[in-house]
Homo-oligomer: A and B are copies of this chain.
C-alpha cells in the first residue's frame, strides 16, 4: 500500500558538445547504467546541456554592445557584453541595481540575468543562453527518446534559480513536454468533505526540485535524471510552460517586496 517513486541520476553521463544528439546520448547512458528508460518515466534534463547541444553558447568577445546595455552595465557593474546577452534574450528588464539584473525572458520567466550563466560552460569567456524555446526543445527530446525506446515518456528541462523571500536556490522547470504542469485540486474534497479552494500544485517544478537532489551542482553534477513510478501525475500532451506564467496583475505578491 505504498505510493513510491524513485529518482536516479545518470552518473556516467558524458560531456555534451555543441550539436550533440542529446536524446541518443541519454538513452544510451541509461542503458549503460542498467536503468533503461521505460514508458511512464519522466526524464529531467539540465538546461545547460540542452543549451550546449543546441549551440546556445556564446563567447563574450564576440558580443557587440548596445548603448542600452552599456547604460545597464554601469548601473549593475556587470560586464556590458553579458548585459547585452541578457537584453537580447529578454522581453523586459524587471530590476537593475548593483550586481543585480532581473529580467523576464522571452518565454515569460522572471529570473536573475535571464537565466544566463557561466557554470559548467567551457572557455573563460563563454556563457550559455537558455534554449530559444525550452518547450520545443523538450518536445524534440521527448519524441526522439520515445522513438528510441518505443514508449511514452515526459521530459522536463530544469534550471537552478533564486526565489524571492527565501534564501538559497531550487530547481524549477523551464520547459517540458508530455506532462500537465499543474495538478488542480480545486473543488475536490478534503479529508472531511470540505472543498479545497486554492490547491493548485506546480508538479513540474516539484519534479525539477526532486531531480536536483540527486543531480547536485558543479564538477560532480549529473545533468540527467530519470524519475520512475509516478502514478498520480498526468502524462499528457498539449501543455506548455505558459501554464506556469502569471501576469503581474494576477500575482498576489505584487507590491509585497
CA distance A30 to B36 in the complex (A): 30
The contact string, 1 if C-beta is below 8 Å from chain B, for chain A 1-41, is 11111111111100100000000000000000111000000
Q: Contact partner of A199 among B169, B202, B222, CB < 8 A?
A: B169
A147 contacts partner chain B, Cβ-Cβ < 8 Å = no
Which residues A186-224 have CB closer than 8 A to chain B? Answer: 188-194, 196, 198-203, 205-207, 209-210, 212-214, 216-219, 221-222
Count this chain's copies in the assembly.
2
Min Cβ gap A124→B in Å is 8
A238 contacts partner chain B, Cβ-Cβ < 8 Å = no
A162 contacts partner chain B, Cβ-Cβ < 8 Å = yes
Interface size on A, residues (CB 8 A): 91
A149 contacts partner chain B, Cβ-Cβ < 8 Å = no
Q: What B residues does A167 contact at CB under 8 A?
A: 182, 200, 202, 243-246
Known: A2-B33, A8-B3, A110-B256. A200 touches B168 (CB 8 A): yes
Known: A121-B192, A190-B119. A213 touches B218 (CB 8 A): no
CA distance A34 to B254 in the complex (A): 47
Q: Contact partner of A163 among B160, B163, B169, B192, CB < 8 A?
A: B163
Which residues A149-172 have CB closer than 8 A to chain B? Answer: 160, 162-172
Chain B residue, CB-CB nearest to A172: B166
Which residues A235-257 have CB closer than 8 A to chain B? Answer: 243-246, 248, 251-257
Which residues A107-146 have CB closer than 8 A to chain B? Answer: 109-110, 112, 117-124
Q: Which of A62-70, A83-91, A94-102 contacts B (4 or more CB under 8 A)?
A: A94-102
CA distance A102 to B100 in the complex (A): 25
A75 contacts partner chain B, Cβ-Cβ < 8 Å = no
Q: What B residues does A245 contact at CB under 8 A?
A: 166-167
A148 contacts partner chain B, Cβ-Cβ < 8 Å = no
Q: What B residues does A94 contact at CB under 8 A?
A: 256
Do A202 and B168 touch across chains, with their CB atoms under 8 A apart? Answer: yes
Chain B residue, CB-CB nearest to A10: B2
CA distance A168 to B212 in the complex (A): 20
Q: Contact partner of A217 among B7, B171, B199, B233, CB < 8 A?
A: B199
Q: What B residues does A221 contact at CB under 8 A?
A: 190-191
Q: What B residues does A102 contact at CB under 8 A?
A: 252-253, 256
Give 5 closest A-B pairs by Cβ, nearest first: A168-B202, A210-B210, A164-B253, A209-B209, A206-B209
